Chains A and B, each alone.
Chain A
Amino acid sequence: MANSVDRAATAARIAEVIEPFNKNAIAIDETTSFAGDLEWDSLTVMDFVAAIEDEFDIIISMNQQAEIETYGQLIDAVTKLQG
């Protein structure tokens, strides 16, 4: 896989960004769901998306956000958006 290194690097940066948002210190893996497991309200989601966008200098539109349900899908999406 050509971009597995990119994906690992991206995952590491996302892990750092998500930490201050994970107030209940829930153990996060690739299958963790934002709505179901992290139970974030819409404001937290907005602030988190903005933090990810700023970290990687990308746009994650609402249309793209609708497709991202799990932590793994977020890493995939951000890896792809940097390309």
Chain B
Amino acid sequence: METVMTDLFSKFDPLIETRRSLLATGVTDPFSLVMEKVLSPTTAICSGRETILLGTYNYMGMTFDPDVIAAGKQALDDFGAGTTGSRVLNGTYAGHRAVEEALKEFYAMDHAMVFSTGYQANLGIISTIAGKGDYIVLDIDSHASIWDGCKMGDAEVVPFKHNDIEAMEKRLRRIPEGAGKLVVLEGVYSMLGDIAPLKEMIRIAKSYGAMVLVDEAHSMGFIGPNGRGVAEDQGVLDDVDFVIGTFSKSVGTVGGFCVSNHPKFEIMRLVCRPYVFTASLPPSVVATAATSIRKLMHAGNKRAHLWENSRTLHGALTKLGFKLGTEEPQSAIIAVIMPDLERGAMMWEALLREGLYVNLARPPATPAGMTLLRCSLCAEHTAEQVQVIAGMFERAGKAVGII
């Protein structure tokens, strides 16, 4: 009998074709940009040209902070390039404990657990705490790491319409008596930059006896009186059972974490597979993270300037006639809605030619099949840079015919 090999890659054919036809228009590939040199948190050399960075999530500009860099260099010298081991075996150094201490202080919580990425923090915590017979109720626009955590666990997964309080409550009400319940929310939804009505949602979740996990990846460092995020800003942080966060945004390096006041939280270190079966973060990374987190506790002026930048750019783009993801600035993310992928890619390229980098976001990462130019502001963007950015958007938007 003749053996026929099924090409496992044929499932990717539609995407390969979409990509081929987009690149055939002559547009620069938006997903293979290389930063040849990074000059500061807000500028880099891309294709030989100095480019303003407006799509890095480097909200607080900590990547080049002198204290942060010095701490990383010292740790490289003292502890070497990597740990080559899991946190539960040979991979816990003094620095890993120190960064967990810094997180506990930052959030004023009892427990902190650091993962090698933010993705793994959601993957690990969600898949481990919600098991067979439990229910996870989550916002339909949740990040991929949340969905993947749901898929990896064995819980029943029940999504509700984005930020729809009533839809969430209906689903909680219908869960069978006695089942374990986890409600998963985000402080800032990173595609449109909108925030969640956490106060009301958490109140309802608690009234149905659910535990609550909030991903504050895009709010840490600048939302809330102490930069603890949207839950703090809305006065409900004490009712959140698990806060998930990342080092790859405001903190300025890489890594993920969960902080919690749950009295049994420490057992997670033994049962959470994405924590156990991964090498821990390099010593230099945890040293930079700990230094950065401690500096973020006292970053009131930077926070104020970041908000100013966000308001200024939001106002300028609205005035120019762009369609934005939110009517008023709710975070440091401003999403500019493009009419379609082709014009989105053209606009992205026109901005790059102007010397501006933003994120091109497209389905399936985006809600409702939208193509977005996602801008994330930095506390280190100067007021002048924000004006320059608005001018670039105006010229590029007119050249592409979007405004």
User: A53 contacts which of B135, B174, B369 (Cβ < 8 Å)?
Assistant: B174
**17-72 of chain A: CB within 8 A of chain B:** 41-43, 46-47, 50, 53-54, 57-59, 61-64
Main secondary structure of the interface of A (DSSP, over half): helix
Chain A neighbourhood of B364, CB < 8 A: 42
- How many angstroms from the CA of A50 to the CA of B140 in the assembled complex? 12
**CB distance A62 to B157 under 8 Å?**
yes
- How many angstroms from the CA of A46 to the CA of B157 in the assembled complex? 13
Chain A neighbourhood of B157, CB < 8 A: 61-63
**CB distance A46 to B161 under 8 Å?**
yes
Tell whether B225 is near chain A: CB-to-CB under 8 Å. no
**CB distance B174 to A50 under 8 Å?**
no
User: B158 contacts which of A42, A57, A61 (Cβ < 8 Å)?
Assistant: A61
**CB distance A61 to B156 under 8 Å?**
yes
**CB distance A59 to B158 under 8 Å?**
yes
Q: Mark B368-379, 1 if CB is under 8 A from A, else 0.
A: 110000000000
Chain A neighbourhood of B161, CB < 8 A: 46-47, 50
**CB distance A54 to B170 under 8 Å?**
yes
- How many angstroms from the CA of A59 to the CA of B175 in the assembled complex? 7
Tell whether B85 is near chain A: CB-to-CB under 8 Å. no
Chain B neighbourhood of A50, CB < 8 A: 160-161, 167
Q: Mark B170-203, 1 if CB is under 8 A from A, else 0.
A: 1100110000000000000000000000000000
- How many angstroms from the CA of A50 to the CA of B174 in the assembled complex? 12
**CB distance A53 to B170 under 8 Å?**
yes
- How many angstroms from the CA of A50 to the CA of B164 in the assembled complex? 12
Tell whether B159 is near chain A: CB-to-CB under 8 Å. yes
Q: How many residues of A contact B (CB 8 A)?
A: 15
User: A41 contacts which of B135, B158, B160, B369 (Cβ < 8 Å)?
Assistant: B369
- How many angstroms from the CA of A62 to the CA of B158 in the assembled complex? 6
Chain A neighbourhood of B174, CB < 8 A: 53, 57-59
Smallest CB separation, A10 vs chain B (Å) = 17
Smallest CB separation, B245 vs chain A (Å) = 26
- How many angstroms from the CA of A54 to the CA of B161 in the assembled complex? 13
**CB distance B171 to A62 under 8 Å?**
no
**CB distance A63 to B167 under 8 Å?**
no
- How many angstroms from the CA of A57 to the CA of B269 in the assembled complex? 39
- How many angstroms from the CA of A39 to the CA of B170 in the assembled complex? 27
Smallest CB separation, B208 vs chain A (Å) = 13
**CB distance B135 to A61 under 8 Å?**
yes
**113-147 of chain B: CB within 8 A of chain A:** 135, 140
Smallest CB separation, A40 vs chain B (Å) = 12
Chain A neighbourhood of B369, CB < 8 A: 41, 43
In the complex, what residue of chain A is closest to B167 when comparing beta carbons? A50
Chain A neighbourhood of B159, CB < 8 A: 46, 62
Smallest CB separation, A23 vs chain B (Å) = 16
- How many angstroms from the CA of A54 to the CA of B159 in the assembled complex? 14
Chain A neighbourhood of B171, CB < 8 A: 53, 59
Which one of A42, A57, A58 has the highest number of Cβ atoms from chain B below 10 Å of its Cβ?
A42
Chain B neighbourhood of A59, CB < 8 A: 135, 156, 158, 171, 174-175
In the complex, what residue of chain B is closest to A65 when comparing beta carbons? B157
Smallest CB separation, B176 vs chain A (Å) = 9
- How many angstroms from the CA of A3 to the CA of B175 in the assembled complex? 24
In the complex, what residue of chain B is closest to A49 when comparing beta carbons? B159
- How many angstroms from the CA of A57 to the CA of B169 in the assembled complex? 12
**CB distance B170 to A46 under 8 Å?**
no
**CB distance B140 to A46 under 8 Å?**
yes
- How many angstroms from the CA of A43 to the CA of B369 in the assembled complex? 9
In the complex, what residue of chain A is closest to B368 when comparing beta carbons? A43
Chain B neighbourhood of A58, CB < 8 A: 174
Smallest CB separation, B290 vs chain A (Å) = 38
- How many angstroms from the CA of A47 to the CA of B135 in the assembled complex? 20
- How many angstroms from the CA of A61 to the CA of B157 in the assembled complex? 5
Smallest CB separation, A80 vs chain B (Å) = 14
Q: Give me 10 A-to-B residue pairs in the complex whose CB atoms sit less than 8 angstroms apart, sorted by A's number.
A: A46-B140, A57-B174, A58-B174, A59-B135, A59-B156, A59-B174, A59-B175, A61-B135, A62-B157, A62-B158
User: What 17 additional pairs, Cβ within 8 angstroms, besides A47-B161, A50-B161, A62-B156?
Assistant: A42-B364, A46-B140, A46-B159, A50-B160, A50-B167, A53-B170, A53-B174, A54-B170, A57-B174, A58-B174, A59-B158, A59-B174, A59-B175, A61-B156, A62-B159, A63-B157, A64-B156
